[in-house]
Every structure is written in C-alpha cells, then in structure tokens.
C-alpha cells in the first residue's frame, strides 16, 4: 500500500525543509528550547537573525514550526506531527520496497529451480 498523494506532498515538504543542515540545527534549537524568538535563537547559532528568520519561514511552510505573536515578538515552537507523518511515509515506502524485493527473490528462486538441469 503506497502513501496517499497528499501525504507524499507533505512528506516532500518536510524532507525539503530538513535537507539543509542549518535548518535542521534551527529546528533542533526550537525543539529543545522553544518557544523562542528568531533573535533568541540566532544568539546561539553562527548565523544572523535574518538567516534564522528565513530558515524558520521554510520550517513553518513545511509545518515543522508554528509561530505565535506575543506582544511585539513572534515566538516559534516545534510541531512534531509532520515529522511523525514523514516517518510513517518512510515506513510505508520501505515496506512496499521490501514486498517488491521479496517477490523478486521468490521469482528468481522459481526461475533457478525450473531452469536448472536435473541433478544426477
């Protein structure tokens, strides 16, 4: 059974967002210390606040963080559901490939058995 197209799209957004090592570092910071502002997060990273804000924007589009306005600040908090869904996508895709490989192995054994000359 393959994942639904919308699950494929959401998983793709997560994988795209996590393909950048700096973005993974930003997400890790938010997950471990959040909710926090881009400024607070930038203070602990070797990149500018503007770069952190851009990375947070990509993570937000993928659903990996959510933003909440508190007064004049925007605080970011990690959202674990998209990671769980991406892990489920990986599991389902891996299971489908395992089934295909099992069928291929079974077919190869069948062919070997039927094409081998009889043993004396």
Query: pLDDT of the chain along its 120 residues, tens only?
Result: 455 558 788 889 999 999 999 999 999 999 999 899 999 999 999 999 999 999 999 999 999 999 999 999 999 999 999 989 888 888 988 887 877 887 888 888 888 888 766 666
Three-state secondary structure call for residue 74: strand
Q: Which CATH class is domain 1-114?
A: mainly alpha
Domain ranges in the chain are: 1-114
Rounded to 5 degrees, φ, ψ at 67 are -110, 145
Q: Are 89 and 8 in contact (CB under 8 A)?
A: yes
Write down the pTM of the prediction: 0.74
């Amino acid at each position: 059974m393959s994942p639904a197209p919308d699950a494929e799209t959401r998983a793709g957004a997560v994988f795209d967002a996590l393909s950048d090592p700096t973005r993974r570092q930003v997400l890790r910071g938010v997950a471990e210390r959040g909710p926090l502002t881009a400024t607070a997060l930038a203070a602990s990273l070797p990149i500018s606040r503007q770069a952190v804000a851009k990375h947070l924007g990509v993570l937000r589009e993928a659903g990996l963080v959510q933003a909440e306005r508190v007064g004049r600040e925007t605080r970011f908090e990690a959202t674990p559901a998209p990671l769980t869904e991406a892990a489920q996508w990986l599991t389902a895709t891996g299971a489908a490939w395992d089934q295909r490989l099992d069928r291929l192995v079974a077919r190869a054994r069948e062919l070997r058995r039927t094409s081998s000359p009889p043993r004396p």
